[in-house]
Protein backbone atom coordinates (compact mmCIF):
# COMPACT_ATOMS: atom_id res chain seq x y z
CA UNK A 1 0.00 0.00 0.00
CA UNK A 2 1.29 3.45 -0.86
CA UNK A 3 1.74 5.53 2.29
CA UNK A 4 -0.02 8.89 2.07
CA UNK A 5 2.52 11.67 2.55
CA UNK A 6 0.52 14.89 3.01
CA UNK A 7 -0.82 15.50 6.47
CA UNK A 8 -2.24 18.36 8.43
CA UNK A 9 -1.51 18.32 12.16
CA UNK A 10 -2.94 20.68 14.75
CA UNK A 11 -0.76 21.24 17.83
CA UNK A 12 -2.45 22.51 20.98
CA UNK A 13 -0.89 23.84 24.18
CA UNK A 14 -3.63 24.31 26.76
CA UNK A 15 -2.96 26.56 29.74
CA UNK A 16 -5.38 27.45 32.52
CA UNK A 17 -6.73 30.54 30.73
CA UNK A 18 -5.28 30.16 27.25
CA UNK A 19 -4.86 27.71 24.38
CA UNK A 20 -1.99 28.18 21.92
CA UNK A 21 -2.37 26.51 18.53
CA UNK A 22 -0.35 25.84 15.39
CA UNK A 23 -1.52 24.13 12.23
CA UNK A 24 1.21 22.28 10.34
CA UNK A 25 1.29 20.90 6.86
CA UNK A 26 3.58 17.88 6.61
CA UNK A 27 4.81 16.95 3.21
CA UNK A 28 7.17 13.96 3.36
CA UNK A 29 8.81 15.06 6.62
CA UNK A 30 8.89 18.77 5.72
CA UNK A 31 6.94 20.69 8.32
CA UNK A 32 5.41 24.00 7.36
CA UNK A 33 3.37 26.20 9.72
CA UNK A 34 0.12 27.15 7.97
CA UNK A 35 -1.20 29.33 10.76
CA UNK A 36 -0.83 29.85 14.48
CA UNK A 37 -2.33 31.82 17.31
CA UNK A 38 -3.75 31.93 20.76
CA UNK A 39 -7.10 31.88 22.48
CA UNK A 40 -6.69 34.09 25.51
CA UNK A 41 -8.57 34.97 28.71
CA UNK A 42 -10.67 31.78 28.76
CA UNK A 43 -13.43 32.19 31.34
CA UNK A 44 -12.56 35.88 31.84
CA UNK A 45 -13.87 39.19 30.50
CA UNK A 46 -12.41 40.15 27.14
CA UNK A 47 -11.74 36.57 25.93
CA UNK A 48 -10.44 36.51 22.37
CA UNK A 49 -8.72 34.62 19.60
CA UNK A 50 -5.52 36.13 18.28
CA UNK A 51 -4.14 34.81 15.00
CA UNK A 52 -0.51 35.50 14.23
CA UNK A 53 -0.08 33.70 10.93
CA UNK A 54 1.80 36.37 9.10
CA UNK A 55 1.53 40.14 9.18
CA UNK A 56 -0.94 40.35 6.31
CA UNK A 57 -3.44 37.96 7.87
CA UNK A 58 -3.11 38.64 11.60
CA UNK A 59 -6.32 39.40 13.41
CA UNK A 60 -7.87 39.53 16.88
CA UNK A 61 -11.51 38.74 17.53
CA UNK A 62 -13.18 39.19 20.91
CA UNK A 63 -15.85 36.61 21.66
CA UNK A 64 -17.22 35.05 24.84
CA UNK A 65 -15.21 31.89 25.65
CA UNK A 66 -16.26 30.25 28.87
CA UNK A 67 -14.10 27.11 28.88
CA UNK A 68 -11.60 25.01 26.91
CA UNK A 69 -14.38 23.43 24.85
CA UNK A 70 -15.45 26.90 23.65
CA UNK A 71 -11.81 27.85 23.07
CA UNK A 72 -11.02 24.85 20.89
CA UNK A 73 -14.32 25.24 19.05
CA UNK A 74 -13.31 28.83 18.20
CA UNK A 75 -9.96 27.53 16.89
CA UNK A 76 -11.61 24.80 14.81
CA UNK A 77 -14.21 27.23 13.41
CA UNK A 78 -11.41 29.56 12.34
CA UNK A 79 -9.42 26.72 10.76
CA UNK A 80 -12.48 25.35 8.94
CA UNK A 81 -13.27 28.80 7.59
CA UNK A 82 -9.78 29.66 6.41
CA UNK A 83 -7.51 26.63 6.15
CA UNK A 84 -9.37 23.30 6.09
CA UNK A 85 -12.10 22.03 3.78
CA UNK A 86 -13.43 19.82 6.57
CA UNK A 87 -12.26 18.22 9.82
CA UNK A 88 -11.30 15.00 7.97
CA UNK A 89 -8.38 16.92 6.51
CA UNK A 90 -6.77 16.93 9.94
CA UNK A 91 -4.73 13.75 10.33
CA UNK A 92 -4.23 14.17 14.08
CA UNK A 93 -4.04 16.58 16.97
CA UNK A 94 -0.91 16.74 19.11
CA UNK A 95 -1.25 18.02 22.65
CA UNK A 96 1.43 19.38 24.91
CA UNK A 97 0.99 17.61 28.26
CA UNK A 98 2.73 18.71 31.42
CA UNK A 99 3.39 15.52 33.28
CA UNK A 100 3.68 11.90 32.27
CA UNK A 101 4.79 10.70 35.72
CA UNK A 102 6.69 7.42 35.35
CA UNK A 103 4.15 6.14 32.82
CA UNK A 104 5.41 7.81 29.67
CA UNK A 105 8.92 8.11 28.26
CA UNK A 106 7.70 9.15 24.82
CA UNK A 107 4.70 10.57 23.02
CA UNK A 108 1.67 8.29 22.80
CA UNK A 109 -1.63 7.98 20.97
CA UNK A 110 -4.52 8.71 23.31
CA UNK A 111 -6.74 5.78 24.18
CA UNK A 112 -8.70 4.78 27.28
CA UNK A 113 -5.69 3.34 29.10
CA UNK A 114 -3.51 6.39 28.33
CA UNK A 115 -6.31 8.69 29.46
CA UNK A 116 -6.55 6.88 32.81
CA UNK A 117 -2.81 7.27 33.33
CA UNK A 118 -2.98 10.94 32.42
CA UNK A 119 -5.74 11.47 35.00
CA UNK A 120 -3.53 9.71 37.53
CA UNK A 121 -0.69 12.18 36.94
CA UNK A 122 -2.81 15.33 37.45
CA UNK A 123 -2.14 15.47 41.22
CA UNK A 124 1.60 15.63 40.43
CA UNK A 125 1.06 18.95 38.67
CA UNK A 126 -1.89 20.54 40.48
CA UNK A 127 -1.49 24.05 39.05
CA UNK A 128 -1.24 23.25 35.34
CA UNK A 129 -2.34 19.60 35.07
CA UNK A 130 -6.09 20.24 34.92
CA UNK A 131 -5.72 22.65 31.97
CA UNK A 132 -3.84 20.12 29.83
CA UNK A 133 -6.57 17.57 30.52
CA UNK A 134 -9.32 20.09 29.70
CA UNK A 135 -7.75 20.57 26.26
CA UNK A 136 -7.72 16.82 25.63
CA UNK A 137 -11.30 16.38 26.81
CA UNK A 138 -12.49 19.28 24.67
CA UNK A 139 -11.04 17.73 21.49
CA UNK A 140 -12.47 14.31 22.40
CA UNK A 141 -15.88 15.96 22.73
CA UNK A 142 -15.64 18.07 19.55
CA UNK A 143 -13.89 15.54 17.28
CA UNK A 144 -14.63 12.18 18.92
CA UNK A 145 -12.89 9.93 16.40
CA UNK A 146 -9.87 12.03 15.67
CA UNK A 147 -6.42 10.61 16.44
CA UNK A 148 -4.89 12.52 19.36
CA UNK A 149 -1.31 12.35 20.58
CA UNK A 150 0.07 13.46 23.95
CA UNK A 151 3.64 14.78 24.23
CA UNK A 152 4.81 15.08 27.82
CA UNK A 153 7.18 17.74 29.22
CA UNK A 154 8.66 15.15 31.57
CA UNK A 155 8.99 12.22 29.13
CA UNK A 156 12.45 13.03 27.75
CA UNK A 157 13.89 12.88 31.28
CA UNK A 158 12.62 9.36 32.01
CA UNK A 159 16.02 8.13 30.80
CA UNK A 160 17.69 9.56 33.95
CA UNK A 161 19.27 6.95 36.20
CA UNK A 162 17.98 6.45 39.72
CA UNK A 163 21.05 8.18 41.11
CA UNK A 164 19.97 11.32 39.25
CA UNK A 165 16.26 11.21 39.97
CA UNK A 166 15.90 9.83 43.50
CA UNK A 167 15.93 12.33 46.38
CA UNK A 168 17.65 11.23 49.58
CA UNK A 169 14.40 11.08 51.54
CA UNK A 170 12.78 8.21 53.45
CA UNK A 171 11.85 5.62 50.82
CA UNK A 172 8.09 5.82 51.40
CA UNK A 173 8.00 9.28 49.78
CA UNK A 174 9.10 7.83 46.47
CA UNK A 175 7.23 4.55 46.83
CA UNK A 176 3.91 5.84 48.10
CA UNK A 177 3.90 9.47 47.04
CA UNK A 178 5.93 9.38 43.80
CA UNK A 179 8.28 12.13 45.00
CA UNK A 180 11.35 12.14 42.75
CA UNK A 181 13.00 14.36 40.14
CA UNK A 182 10.91 14.33 36.96
CA UNK A 183 12.28 17.35 35.12
CA UNK A 184 10.39 19.53 32.64
CA UNK A 185 10.98 21.41 29.36
CA UNK A 186 11.66 17.89 28.02
CA UNK A 187 10.10 18.59 24.64
CA UNK A 188 12.43 21.57 24.21
CA UNK A 189 15.55 19.68 25.34
CA UNK A 190 14.61 16.75 23.10
CA UNK A 191 14.29 19.14 20.15
CA UNK A 192 17.72 20.58 21.00
CA UNK A 193 19.16 17.03 21.12
CA UNK A 194 17.85 16.35 17.59
CA UNK A 195 18.96 19.63 16.02
CA UNK A 196 22.38 19.43 17.70
CA UNK A 197 22.85 15.94 16.31
CA UNK A 198 22.08 17.29 12.83
CA UNK A 199 24.71 20.02 13.30
CA UNK A 200 27.43 17.88 14.92
CA UNK A 201 26.81 14.87 12.71
CA UNK A 202 26.77 12.68 15.82
CA UNK A 203 24.85 12.60 19.10
CA UNK A 204 27.64 13.44 21.54
CA UNK A 205 27.69 15.18 24.91
CA UNK A 206 25.41 18.18 24.92
CA UNK A 207 24.39 20.69 27.58
CA UNK A 208 21.12 22.37 26.69
CA UNK A 209 20.26 25.67 28.43
CA UNK A 210 16.58 26.55 28.05
CA UNK A 211 16.60 30.11 29.39
CA UNK A 212 13.14 31.67 29.23
CA UNK A 213 10.98 33.06 32.03
CA UNK A 214 11.05 29.50 33.33
CA UNK A 215 14.48 27.98 32.81
CA UNK A 216 16.23 24.64 33.02
CA UNK A 217 19.47 22.99 31.96
CA UNK A 218 19.73 19.43 30.72
CA UNK A 219 22.78 17.17 30.38
CA UNK A 220 22.30 15.01 27.28
CA UNK A 221 24.48 12.04 26.40
CA UNK A 222 23.97 10.16 23.16
CA UNK A 223 20.58 11.80 22.60
CA UNK A 224 19.26 10.94 26.07
CA UNK A 225 18.66 13.09 29.15
CA UNK A 226 21.12 12.16 31.87
CA UNK A 227 20.23 14.89 34.36
CA UNK A 228 18.23 18.06 34.48
CA UNK A 229 17.79 20.95 36.88
CA UNK A 230 14.02 21.04 37.38
CA UNK A 231 12.87 18.45 39.87
CA UNK A 232 9.64 17.21 41.38
CA UNK A 233 8.26 20.59 40.32
CA UNK A 234 9.47 23.27 37.90
CA UNK A 235 10.49 25.51 40.81
CA UNK A 236 13.77 23.66 41.31
CA UNK A 237 17.11 24.14 39.59
CA UNK A 238 18.61 27.34 38.26
CA UNK A 239 17.42 30.81 39.20
CA UNK A 240 14.56 31.95 36.97
CA UNK A 241 12.59 35.08 36.26
CA UNK A 242 10.42 34.78 39.39
CA UNK A 243 11.56 31.46 40.94
CA UNK A 244 14.55 31.11 43.25
CA UNK A 245 15.89 27.81 41.96
CA UNK A 246 17.67 25.46 44.34
CA UNK A 247 18.06 26.53 47.95
CA UNK A 248 18.25 25.13 51.44
CA UNK A 249 15.05 23.02 51.89
CA UNK A 250 14.72 24.25 55.45
CA UNK A 251 14.03 27.82 54.29
CA UNK A 252 10.29 27.39 53.48
CA UNK A 253 9.75 25.60 56.80
CA UNK A 254 11.50 28.38 58.67
CA UNK A 255 9.50 31.09 56.86
CA UNK A 256 6.21 29.30 57.53
CA UNK A 257 7.05 28.84 61.21
CA UNK A 258 8.46 32.26 61.99
CA UNK A 259 6.45 34.50 59.62
CA UNK A 260 3.18 32.67 60.11
CA UNK A 261 2.77 32.08 56.38
CA UNK A 262 0.66 29.35 54.80
CA UNK A 263 1.96 26.81 52.28
CA UNK A 264 0.01 28.65 49.55
CA UNK A 265 1.61 31.96 50.46
CA UNK A 266 5.10 30.47 50.36
CA UNK A 267 4.28 28.74 47.09
CA UNK A 268 3.21 32.09 45.63
CA UNK A 269 6.43 33.69 46.83
CA UNK A 270 8.54 30.93 45.24
CA UNK A 271 6.64 31.06 41.94
CA UNK A 272 5.99 34.76 41.50
CA UNK A 273 8.16 36.92 43.74
CA UNK A 274 11.61 35.33 43.78
CA UNK A 275 14.47 34.83 41.31
CA UNK A 276 15.61 37.70 39.10
CA UNK A 277 12.47 39.64 40.04
CA UNK A 278 13.55 39.69 43.68
CA UNK A 279 17.27 40.31 43.12
CA UNK A 280 16.71 43.06 40.56
CA UNK A 281 14.25 44.80 42.87
CA UNK A 282 11.11 44.24 40.84
CA UNK A 283 12.01 43.70 37.17
CA UNK A 284 10.23 40.88 35.33
CA UNK A 285 11.87 41.16 31.94
CA UNK A 286 15.54 40.32 31.37
CA UNK A 287 15.78 43.13 28.80
CA UNK A 288 14.83 45.69 31.48
CA UNK A 289 17.30 44.16 33.91
CA UNK A 290 20.12 44.40 31.35
CA UNK A 291 19.19 47.99 30.40
CA UNK A 292 19.01 49.08 34.03
CA UNK A 293 22.30 47.36 34.83
CA UNK A 294 23.95 49.18 31.93
CA UNK A 295 22.54 52.42 33.31
CA UNK A 296 24.24 51.79 36.64
CA UNK A 297 21.50 50.06 38.69
CA UNK A 298 23.45 48.08 41.30
CA UNK A 299 20.66 45.58 42.07
CA UNK A 300 20.31 44.72 38.39
CA UNK A 301 24.08 44.40 38.00
CA UNK A 302 24.13 42.02 40.94
CA UNK A 303 21.13 40.05 39.60
CA UNK A 304 22.95 39.45 36.30
CA UNK A 305 26.16 38.40 38.09
CA UNK A 306 24.21 35.97 40.25
CA UNK A 307 22.30 34.59 37.24
CA UNK A 308 25.50 33.98 35.28
CA UNK A 309 27.19 32.46 38.34
CA UNK A 310 24.25 30.07 38.70
CA UNK A 311 24.49 29.00 35.06
CA UNK A 312 28.27 28.56 35.12
CA UNK A 313 28.11 26.47 38.30
CA UNK A 314 25.43 24.17 36.87
CA UNK A 315 27.05 23.79 33.46
CA UNK A 316 30.32 22.90 35.25
CA UNK A 317 28.53 20.22 37.24
CA UNK A 318 27.01 18.77 34.07
CA UNK A 319 30.36 18.74 32.27
CA UNK A 320 31.55 16.59 35.18
CA UNK A 321 28.48 14.34 34.94
CA UNK A 322 28.96 13.87 31.18
CA UNK A 323 32.75 13.52 31.43
CA UNK A 324 33.21 16.28 28.83
CA UNK A 325 31.17 18.36 26.44
CA UNK A 326 30.84 18.60 22.65
CA UNK A 327 28.21 21.31 22.42
CA UNK A 328 26.72 23.95 24.69
CA UNK A 329 23.33 25.13 23.45
CA UNK A 330 21.37 28.27 24.30
CA UNK A 331 17.64 28.34 23.62
CA UNK A 332 14.39 30.17 24.60
CA UNK A 333 13.88 33.94 25.09
CA UNK A 334 17.07 34.80 26.99
CA UNK A 335 19.24 32.07 25.46
CA UNK A 336 18.28 33.01 21.90
CA UNK A 337 18.31 36.77 22.29
CA UNK A 338 20.85 37.85 24.88
CA UNK A 339 24.36 38.08 23.46
CA UNK A 340 25.40 39.55 26.82
CA UNK A 341 24.36 36.55 28.93
CA UNK A 342 25.87 34.13 26.38
CA UNK A 343 29.15 36.06 26.37
CA UNK A 344 29.38 36.28 30.16
CA UNK A 345 28.70 32.54 30.53
CA UNK A 346 31.10 31.50 27.76
CA UNK A 347 33.91 33.73 29.04
CA UNK A 348 33.79 31.92 32.35
CA UNK A 349 33.85 28.58 30.54
CA UNK A 350 36.95 29.39 28.48
CA UNK A 351 38.82 26.77 30.58
CA UNK A 352 36.85 24.17 28.57
CA UNK A 353 38.40 25.45 25.35
CA UNK A 354 35.36 27.51 24.37
CA UNK A 355 36.22 30.50 22.19
CA UNK A 356 33.29 32.64 21.27
CA UNK A 357 33.25 34.44 17.91
CA UNK A 358 32.12 37.89 19.11
CA UNK A 359 30.99 39.04 15.68
CA UNK A 360 28.71 36.00 15.36
CA UNK A 361 27.47 36.28 18.94
CA UNK A 362 26.54 39.92 18.35
CA UNK A 363 24.46 39.22 15.24
CA UNK A 364 20.71 39.45 15.74
CA UNK A 365 19.21 36.96 15.29
CA UNK A 366 22.27 34.92 16.18
CA UNK A 367 23.49 32.30 13.72
CA UNK A 368 23.28 28.65 14.75
CA UNK A 369 26.96 28.48 15.70
CA UNK A 370 28.69 31.32 17.58
CA UNK A 371 32.13 29.84 18.31
CA UNK A 372 35.34 30.19 16.29
CA UNK A 373 36.43 27.32 14.04
CA UNK A 374 39.13 26.25 16.53
CA UNK A 375 36.85 26.26 19.60
CA UNK A 376 37.08 22.85 21.33
CA UNK A 377 33.37 23.02 22.18
CA UNK A 378 30.70 24.27 19.80
CA UNK A 379 28.34 26.86 21.24
CA UNK A 380 25.01 26.86 19.44
CA UNK A 381 21.96 29.14 19.50
CA UNK A 382 18.88 27.16 18.54
CA UNK A 383 15.44 28.79 18.58
CA UNK A 384 13.09 26.83 20.84
CA UNK A 385 10.33 25.09 18.92
CA UNK A 386 8.32 22.80 21.14
CA UNK A 387 5.35 22.92 18.76
CA UNK A 388 7.46 21.58 15.89
CA UNK A 389 8.73 18.78 18.14
CA UNK A 390 5.13 17.87 19.07
CA UNK A 391 4.17 17.94 15.37
CA UNK A 392 7.14 15.68 14.53
CA UNK A 393 6.27 13.18 17.27
CA UNK A 394 2.61 13.21 16.21
CA UNK A 395 3.61 12.61 12.60
CA UNK A 396 5.81 9.65 13.59
CA UNK A 397 2.84 8.07 15.33
CA UNK A 398 0.57 8.75 12.33
CA UNK A 399 3.05 6.95 10.08
CA UNK A 400 3.47 4.10 12.59
CA UNK A 401 -0.31 3.68 12.76
CA UNK A 402 -0.61 3.60 8.98
CA UNK A 403 2.10 0.97 8.76
CA UNK A 404 0.30 -1.16 11.38
CA UNK A 405 -2.99 -0.80 9.49
CA UNK A 406 -1.28 -1.75 6.22
CA UNK A 407 0.18 -4.90 7.83
CA UNK A 408 -3.21 -5.79 9.31
CA UNK A 409 -4.82 -5.52 5.87
P1 LIG B 1 8.55 31.90 28.70
O2 LIG B 1 7.79 31.27 27.58
O3 LIG B 1 9.13 30.94 29.68
O4 LIG B 1 7.93 33.10 29.34
P5 LIG B 1 10.43 32.93 26.72
O6 LIG B 1 11.21 31.82 26.16
O7 LIG B 1 9.47 33.64 25.85
O8 LIG B 1 9.84 32.50 28.10
O9 LIG B 1 11.48 34.01 27.29
C10 LIG B 1 11.07 35.14 27.98
C11 LIG B 1 12.31 35.88 28.48
O12 LIG B 1 13.18 36.18 27.38
C13 LIG B 1 11.98 37.21 29.14
O14 LIG B 1 12.62 37.30 30.40
C15 LIG B 1 12.58 38.22 28.19
O16 LIG B 1 13.05 39.32 28.86
C17 LIG B 1 13.74 37.44 27.60
N18 LIG B 1 14.22 38.10 26.38
C19 LIG B 1 13.61 38.26 25.20
N20 LIG B 1 14.37 38.99 24.36
C21 LIG B 1 15.51 39.29 25.04
C22 LIG B 1 16.71 40.02 24.73
N23 LIG B 1 16.89 40.60 23.56
N24 LIG B 1 17.66 40.10 25.69
C25 LIG B 1 17.48 39.53 26.89
N26 LIG B 1 16.40 38.84 27.24
C27 LIG B 1 15.42 38.72 26.33
Among 195, 200, 166, 159, smallest CA distance to 181 is for 166
Please spell the DSSP secondary structure of 30-44, one letter per residue.
Answer: EEEEEEEEEEESTTS
Instruction: Give the ligand 1 atom nearest the CA of 332.
Output: 6
Q: Is the dihedral of CA 232, 238, 240, 244 positive or negative?
A: positive
pLDDT for res 55: 67
Catalytic, out of 153, 227, 305, 326? 153
Q: Is the pLDDT of residue 127 over 80?
A: no
pLDDT for res 205: 98
Mean pLDDT within 383-388: 96
Neighbours of 324 (CB within 10 A): 12
pLDDT tens digits along 37-58: 999 999 999 999 999 876 677 8
* Structure confidence at residue 252 as a pLDDT band (50, 70, 90): very high
Mean pLDDT within 233-261: 96
Instruction: Give the ligand 1 atom nearest the CA of 241.
Output: 14
Q: Is the pLDDT of residue 4 over 60?
A: no
Give the distance (Å) from ligand 1 centre to CA of residue 12: 21
Percentage of the chain with pLDDT > 70? 98
Give the distance (Å) from ligand 1 centre to CA of residue 242: 13
Q: How far is CA 231 from the centre of its chain?
A: 14
Interior angle at CA 214, CA 198 and CA 331, nearest 5:
25
* Structure confidence at residue 126 as a pLDDT band (50, 70, 90): confident
Does the predicted model carry a pTM greater than 0.85?
yes
**Dist. CA 302–CA 331, nearest whole Å:** 23
Give the distance (Å) from ligand 1 centre to CA of residue 168: 34
Percentage of the chain with pLDDT > 90? 89
pLDDT for res 265: 96
Using DSSP's 3-state secondary structure scheme, residue 53 falls into coil
* Structure confidence at residue 5 as a pLDDT band (50, 70, 90): low
153 catalytically annotated: yes
Please spell the DSSP secondary structure of 236-275, one letter per residue.
Answer: SSS--SS---S--THHHHHHHHHH---HHHHHHHHHHSSH
Instruction: Give the ligand 1 atom nearest the CA of 384.
Output: 6
pLDDT tens digits along 101-110: 999 999 999 9
Q: Of the residues 234, 242, 287, which should be mutated to test ligand 1's pocket, given the most ligand atoms within 8 Å of the CB?
A: 287
For residues 362 and 349, the answer to whether their CB atoms sit within 8 Å is: no
Name all residues whose Cβ lies below 6 A of ligand 1: 212-214, 241, 285-287, 290, 332-334, 337-338
Mean pLDDT within 274-302: 97
Neighbours of 255 (CB within 10 A): 15
Mean pLDDT of the chain: 94
> 3-state DSSP: the chain helix, strand, coil percent, rounded to 5?
45, 20, 35
* Structure confidence at residue 29 as a pLDDT band (50, 70, 90): confident
Mean pLDDT within 245-263: 96
pLDDT for res 1: 45
Give the distance (Å) from ligand 1 centre to CA of residue 209: 13
pLDDT tens digits along 143-197: 999 999 999 999 999 999 999 999 999 999 999 999 999 999 999 999 999 999 9
pLDDT for res 59: 87
Where does residue 62 fall: left (phi above 0), alpha (psi -120 to 50 degrees), or beta otherwise?
Answer: beta
**Dist. CA 306–CA 292, nearest whole Å:** 15
Q: State the virtual CA torsion across 272, 278, 284, 287 in degrees, nearest 10.
A: -150
For residues 101 and 170, the answer to whether their CB atoms sit within 8 Å is: no
* Structure confidence at residue 406 as a pLDDT band (50, 70, 90): confident
Mean pLDDT within 106-119: 96
Amino acid sequence: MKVKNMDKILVLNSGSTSVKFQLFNVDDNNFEVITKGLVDRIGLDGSKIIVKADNAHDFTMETPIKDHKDAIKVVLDYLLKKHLKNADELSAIGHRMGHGGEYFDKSVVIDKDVMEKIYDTVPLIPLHGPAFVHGLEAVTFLLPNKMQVATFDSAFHQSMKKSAYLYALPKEYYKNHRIRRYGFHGTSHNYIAHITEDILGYKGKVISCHLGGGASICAINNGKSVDTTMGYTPIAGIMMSTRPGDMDPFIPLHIMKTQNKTADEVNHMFNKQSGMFALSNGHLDMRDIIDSAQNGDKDCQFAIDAYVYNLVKTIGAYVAVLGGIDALVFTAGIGENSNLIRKKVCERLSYLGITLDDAKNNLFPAPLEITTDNSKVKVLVIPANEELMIARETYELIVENRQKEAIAI
